[in-house]
Amino acid sequence: MKKLLAWFDHRSGLIEAGRQYLDRPVPGGPSWLRVWPSTILFTFLVQAVTGFVLWSYYSPSDQSAWESVYYIQHEVAGGWLLRAMHHWSAQVALVLIGIYALQMILTGAYRAPREMVFGSVVLLGGCALGLLLTGDLLAWDQNSYASTHVRVSFLKLLPWIGDDLFKIAIGGPGPGFGHLTLPRFLALHVGLFTAAFAGLFLLHGLFRHRADQLETATPERSTSYWPSQAMRNNLAAFAVFAVIMLLSLQNGVNPEHAGVELGSPADLDPANKYAAARPEWAFLGLYEFAHLFPGSLSLLPIFVIPGLLFALVLAMPWIARTKPGHYFNVVLILSLLAGLALLSVHSIRKDLANEEHQLAIVREADQARRVRLLALGADGIPGDGALSLLRNDPKTQGPKLFAQHCASCHAHVDAEGRGIAAEDPSAPNLYGFADRAWLVGLLDPERIATAEYFGNTAFRGGAMVDHVQDALADLFEDEKEEVESLAIALSAEAELPAQREADARDTARIAEGKTFMVNPYGCTGCHKFHDKGRLGGAPDLTGYGSREWTIGIINDPAHPRFYGDDNDRMPAYAESDDPAENLLSARDIGLLADWLRGAWYEPE
Amino acid sequence: MDIHHDHPMTETPTTTEPRRGFFASLAALALAAFGLAVPALTAVAAYVNPLRRKSAAGRFIRVASLTALPSDGTPRKFPVIADRVDAWNRYPNEPIGAIFLCRTESDAVEAYHVVCPHAGCSIVFQQSDDGGKFVCPCHVASFDLQGKRLDKTSPSPRDMDTLEVEIRGKAEVWVRFENYITGITDKIAEA
C-alpha cells in the first residue's frame, strides 16, 4: 500500500503538493478573519453539487421548464430540499462575499500589495449576482418571468446597442421572452457564470498567496495552515452549512410548502402578466433608488450611477494609498450599504401598505395552489404544459371572463356580498344560478322583482313576475312545499355537480315537482317543458341550467328557444357560425357556463 | 527533497535544439490564432443570430365589437389574438398582446397598449368614483383616462402608447397592433 502511494505521488506529485499546501505558512498566525474564502468555496461546492442534479432534471423550454421544476419540487424524493439548498447557498454566497470585501476595506487589507486580491473579490461578487439573476428566471414561474423581464428590458435604456443587447439576451425579437430565452439563461448560469466564478476564485487564491509572500518579510509569527487555520475554516464552513439548512427548512418539511416556493407557471400573455413582481432582495435598494428619478433619466440610476460606483469600489485600493483616501473609502462603503438597506426597508413597507400589490400576491398564491391541485389530478400535466391546465380551468378563467363580459349587467355575489359586483346592475345575480336556493328565490313573490332577479330588467312588469306574485303569494305550508318541490325538479334539469347526490336522493320529489309545473302552477302555460307546452312564449325549461342550455342562452338569448323577440338587452355572444364574427369563442363560453354551474375539477 | 531529480527522464538534455527563427514562431502563433478565431467568430455570429429576427410588422387585427365597450368611456382590456411565431413554432390564434379600448364617442374608440412604456410591465385600470386611472404595478407610473402621465416625475418616459383604430363593418373594432421600444422618450416601433 505504501509502495502504491509512493508510486502515485511520484507520478502525479499530488500528495506532495497537498502536503505543501497544508503546511504552508499563514502569516500572522491563525485567525478567524481569514475564514471567508473557505466559506465562499463551501457555498460554491454546495451550489455545484446541488446544481448538477437540478440541471440533470431541468428542461429549459417555455413549455416544460416550470413543469420540470414542479417535478423536482414535488415528485423527486428530496428534490425540494435540493432546490432549497441551491437557492439559499447562492444567497448566502453573496452575503459572504459582501462581508469579505467589507472586512478588507474596514481593516485596510485591500491596500498594496493586495489590490488584485480585493479586485478579484469584487468581481466574484459580480459573478454571484450574475448567477442569482440568471438562476432566478429558470424556475419559470409568474414572478421569475415578470421580474426578469423588467430587468432585461432595462437593457433597452442603453443608447445605440440597448435594443440589440436585449434581443441577444432573450434570443428573439421580443418584446416577450420565447423558446430561446431559457436555453440562453441556462447556458449563462451553468456555463459562463459558473466557470467565471470558479476561475475568479482560483485567481483570488493565487493573488492571495502571492500577496502573502510579498508581505511576509518577517515571518517569525507565521504558523502553518494545518491544523489551526484549517480547523477554523472548517468550523466556519459548518456554521455556513447550518445557516443554509435553517433557511432551507424554515417552511417545514411538509411537501405542500417545504423549501422554496414555486409560483404558478409563467404566462407569456401580456394580459396575464404578474402584477406584483419585485426584484430579488439584493436589488431592492437599487429598485427603490431608481424611483427617485423620472423615467426620462432612468439610465442614471440603473446603469450610470451603479456602474460608476462599481468602478469606484474597484479603484478603492489606489484611493487608499493616502490615509484620507482610506477614510473616504470606509465612509463611502458604509453609507452606501446603509443607504441601500434604508431604501430596501422603505420599499418593503411601501409594498405592505399597497392593497393592490398585496391582492395580486394573494391571487397568484391561489393560482399556484390551483395549478398544483390540477397537476395532481387524474389527468396530470398535459404535453403542452401546465399553463393549459389553468387556461382550460373554469374555476380560474370563469371569474375573469365574467368580470370582462358579463359584469357590466350581471352580478355574481353570494349572500355575504362576496364575489363580482355588477358595474350597473340591470340583470339577475347569477351566483348559484339554477341551483335549488336560486330557483326558490326566483319563485318567491317577495324576491322575484328585486335587483337579485328581474328587478332591473324589462321583465319586471312582465307575465312571469305577475304570475309568481299572483299565484304563489300567501301560500299554505303544504303549498309552499309543493313550490319547493317544483324548484327542486327544475333545478334537477341543470344536473349541477354540487347537487348530484341531492338529485339522486330526491328522485320521488323531483318526479312530483315535474307534475306541479303543469298543474296546479301552470308553468307550461308559457314555457315548454319536455313534451308539455310550446316554444315561443318564454324560455324552454327542458334541460334548464344544463351545460348545453347555458351555452345556448349565452350564444343567443334572442333565439326562439330562449327569450325570442322579448329578449331584453343581453347581447348574443356567439350567434354566427363564423367564429370571427362572435363576441366570445366557443371555448370561452364553455368555460363561463362551466364556472356558472360550478362544474370544475375538485379533488375527492 | 524532490523525488523527480532521481528520474532519468528529467535530466537536462545534453543537446540543445536549434533556435527557431522569430518568424517561424510568429507564423506558428498566427496559424493557431487563426485556427481558434474561425470557430470563435462562427460561435459569436450564431450567438447574435436573434438580431436578424424581426418583430412582426404592425397590421390591423380585429379586437372587439363596439357593443362590448361601455358607453361611458370606461376602458376595457382586450387580448390581441393572432398567429404567434416563436423560433421554430407557429401558434395559431394566440394572445400576442393586449390593449385597452375606451369609447370616446358612440362610434369612436381610443386604443392604448397595456405594455408600460417604462419597463414593459402590464398596466392595469383602477376604477374609482371619479372615473379611475391607469396604473403600472411595477414602478407605480400612473396615467389618466387619456393615457397621459399623472405624475411630473413619472417613472414612465412617455405617455401610454396609443394604437391606430378603425371601425369596420357594423361595429367591429380593428387595431393596428405593434410593440414599441420601452424605456425611451420617443415612441418607436420594435423592428
| CATH number of A41's domain | 1.20.810.10
Residues A372 and A454 in one domain: no
* Strand-pair partners of B80: B97
Q: Which of residues 243-272 of A touch B (CB under 8 A)?
A: 269-271
Counted domains in chain A: 4
User: Does the CB of A168 have a partner CB in chain B at under 8 Å?
Assistant: yes
- Residue A5 domain-assigned? no
Q: Which of A265, A401, A593 lies closest to B79 in space, CA to CA?
A: A401
The sheet with strand B142-143 has its strands ordered as B124-126, B133-135, B142-143
Q: What is the pLDDT of residue B2?
A: 44
By Cβ distance, the residue of B4, B54, B89 closest to A173 is: B54
- Residue A18 domain-assigned? no
User: Does the CB of A346 have a partner CB in chain B at under 8 Å?
Assistant: no
What is the CA angle A497-A501-A506, rounded to 5?
Answer: 120
Q: What is the mean pLDDT of residues A200-217?
A: 89
Q: Which of A264, A291, A306 is where one domain is finished?
A: A264
Give me the percent of chain A exceeding a pLDDT of 70. Answer: 99
- Residue A67 domain-assigned? yes
- Residue A167 domain-assigned? no
- Residue B37 domain-assigned? yes
- pLDDT tens sequence across A490-534: 999 999 999 999 999 999 999 999 999 998 898 999 999 999 998
> Contacts of residue A580 in chain B, CB cutoff 8 Å?
62
CATH number reported for the structural domain that contains residue B86 in this entry: 2.102.10.10
User: Does the CB of A275 have a partner CB in chain B at under 8 Å?
Assistant: yes
Q: What is the pLDDT of residue A50?
A: 98
Q: What is the pLDDT of residue B12?
A: 53
Q: Which amino acid is at A513?
A: G
Residues B109 and B142 in one domain: yes
Count the Cβ atoms, other than its own, within 10 Å of residue A140.
30
**Of B1 and A197, the one with more pLDDT:** A197
Residues A111 and A215 in one domain: yes
Residues A44 and A78 in one domain: yes
Q: Which of A338, A368, A391 is where one domain is finished?
A: A391
Residues A213 and A327 in one domain: no
- pLDDT tens sequence across A434-459: 999 999 999 999 999 999 999 999 99
Residues A533 and A484 in one domain: yes
Q: What is the mean pLDDT of residues B129-142?
A: 90
- Residue B171 domain-assigned? yes
pLDDT exceeds cutoff 50 at B119: yes
**CB of A527 closer than 8 Å to CB of A562:** no
Do the chains contact at A290 and B139, CB–CB below 8 Å? yes
- Omega of the bond leading into A279 within 30 degrees of 0 (cis): no
**CB of A510 closer than 8 Å to CB of A503:** yes
Do the chains contact at A172 and B50, CB–CB below 8 Å? yes
The span from the CA of A584 to the CA of B81, in Å, is 12
Do the chains contact at B79 and A269, CB–CB below 8 Å? yes
- Residue B150 domain-assigned? yes
Q: Which of residues 16-75 of A touch B (CB under 8 A)?
A: 16, 62
3 state SS of A350: helix
Which pLDDT band, with edges at 50, 70 and 90, does B1 fall under?
Answer: very low
Which pLDDT band, with edges at 50, 70 and 90, does A258 fall under?
Answer: very high
**Of A461 and A139, the one with more pLDDT:** A139
Residue of A nearest to B87 (CA): A179
- Residue A506 domain-assigned? yes
Q: What is the pLDDT of residue A26?
A: 84
Among A104-108, A200-204, A268-272, A370-374, which stretch is predicted with the lowest mean pLDDT? A268-272
The span from the CA of A14 to the CA of A324, in Å, is 47
- Residue B66 domain-assigned? yes
Could you tell me the residue range of the domain that residue B29 belongs to?
19-53
Which pLDDT band, with edges at 50, 70 and 90, does B3 fall under?
Answer: very low
By Cβ distance, the residue of A9, A162, A178 closest to B86 is: A178
Count the Cβ atoms, other than its own, within 10 Å of residue A414.
10
Q: Which of A598, A130, A176, A178 lies closest to A394 in space, CA to CA?
A: A598
User: Does the CB of B176 have a partner CB in chain A at under 8 Å?
Assistant: no
Residues A282 and A250 in one domain: no
Identify from A164, A283, A297, A298 which residue to disrupt to test chain B contact, counting B C-beta atoms within 10 A and taking the largest count. Answer: A298
Residues B38 and B95 in one domain: no
Residues A292 and A441 in one domain: no
- Residue B191 domain-assigned? no
Which pLDDT band, with edges at 50, 70 and 90, does B16 fall under?
Answer: low
Residues A381 and A524 in one domain: no
Identify from B86, B163, B188 which residue to disrupt to test chain A contact, counting A C-beta atoms within 10 A and taking the largest count. Answer: B86
- Residue B156 domain-assigned? yes
Residues A286 and A426 in one domain: no
By Cβ distance, the residue of B53, B119, B181 closest to A172 is: B53
What is the CA angle A49-A55-A60, rounded to 5?
Answer: 160
- Residue A376 domain-assigned? yes
- Residue B35 domain-assigned? yes
Contacts of A450 (CB under 8 A, 6+ apart): none
CA A430 to centroid of chain Cα atoms: 31
Do the chains contact at A294 and B97, CB–CB below 8 Å? no
Q: What is the mean pLDDT of residues B117-128?
A: 90
Q: What is the pLDDT of residue B14?
A: 54
Counted domains in chain B: 2
Q: What is the pLDDT of residue B28?
A: 92
Identify from B1, B47, B138, B186 which residue to disrupt to test chain A contact, counting A C-beta atoms within 10 A and taking the largest count. Answer: B138
Q: What's the grid cell of residue A292?
A: 427617485
> Contacts of residue B126 in chain A, CB cutoff 8 Å?
356
Contacts of A168 (CB under 8 A, 6+ apart): B47, B48, B50, B51
Residues B82 and B47 in one domain: no
A to B CB pairs, distance under 8 Å = 138
Residues A96 and A243 in one domain: yes
User: Does the CB of B120 have a partner CB in chain A at under 8 Å?
Assistant: yes
> Contacts of residue B157 in chain A, CB cutoff 8 Å?
294-296, 298
pLDDT exceeds cutoff 60 at B9: no
- Residue A182 domain-assigned? no
Do the chains contact at A583 and B121, CB–CB below 8 Å? no
Could you tell me the residue range of the domain that residue A377 belongs to?
359-391
The span from the CA of A159 to the CA of A166, in Å, is 12
CA B139 to centroid of chain Cα atoms: 18
Q: What is the pLDDT of residue B191?
A: 79
Residues A331 and A385 in one domain: no
Which pLDDT band, with edges at 50, 70 and 90, does B70 fall under?
Answer: confident
pLDDT exceeds cutoff 90 at B17: no
CA distance A386 to chain B (A): 16
CA distance B54 to chain A (A): 6
Which pLDDT band, with edges at 50, 70 and 90, does A230 fall under?
Answer: very high
Q: What is the mean pLDDT of residues A121-125?
A: 97
- pLDDT tens sequence across A283-297: 999 999 998 999 889
Q: What is the mean pLDDT of chain A?
A: 93
Residues B137 and B47 in one domain: no
Q: Which of A264, A289, A324 is where one domain is finished?
A: A264
The sheet with strand B172-177 has its strands ordered as B59-65, B172-177, B162-168, B108-113, B89-105, B76-86
Residue of B nearest to A16 (CA): B2
Do the chains contact at A167 and B51, CB–CB below 8 Å? yes
Residues B88 and B28 in one domain: no
Residues B24 and B100 in one domain: no
Do the chains contact at B121 and A277, CB–CB below 8 Å? yes
Do the chains contact at A146 and B121, CB–CB below 8 Å? yes
Q: What is the mean pLDDT of residues A399-412?
A: 91
The span from the CA of A543 to the CA of A537, in Å, is 17
- pLDDT tens sequence across A553-563: 999 999 999 99
Q: Which of residues 283-312 of A touch B (CB under 8 A)?
A: 290-291, 293-296, 298
Residue B139 phi, psi dihedral angles, 5° rounding = -125, 20
The span from the CA of A519 to the CA of A522, in Å, is 5
- pLDDT tens sequence across A31-50: 899 999 999 999 999 999 99
Residues A378 and A410 in one domain: no
pTM, to two decimals: 0.90
- Residue B123 domain-assigned? yes
Residues B33 and B90 in one domain: no
User: Does the CB of A567 have a partner CB in chain B at under 8 Å?
Assistant: no
Integer angstrom CA distances of residue A512 from A440, A444, A485, A516: 16, 20, 7, 7
Do the chains contact at B185 and A175, CB–CB below 8 Å? no
Among A57-66, A91-100, B62-71, which stretch is predicted with the lowest mean pLDDT? B62-71
**Of A86 and A219, the one with more pLDDT:** A86
Do the chains contact at B122 and A291, CB–CB below 8 Å? no
Residues B29 and B114 in one domain: no
Residues B29 and B85 in one domain: no
Give me the percent of chain A exceeding a pLDDT of 90. Answer: 81
- Residue A162 domain-assigned? no
> Contacts of residue A357 in chain B, CB cutoff 8 Å?
137
Residues B90 and B110 in one domain: yes
- pLDDT tens sequence across A329-369: 999 999 999 999 999 999 999 999 999 999 999 999 999 99
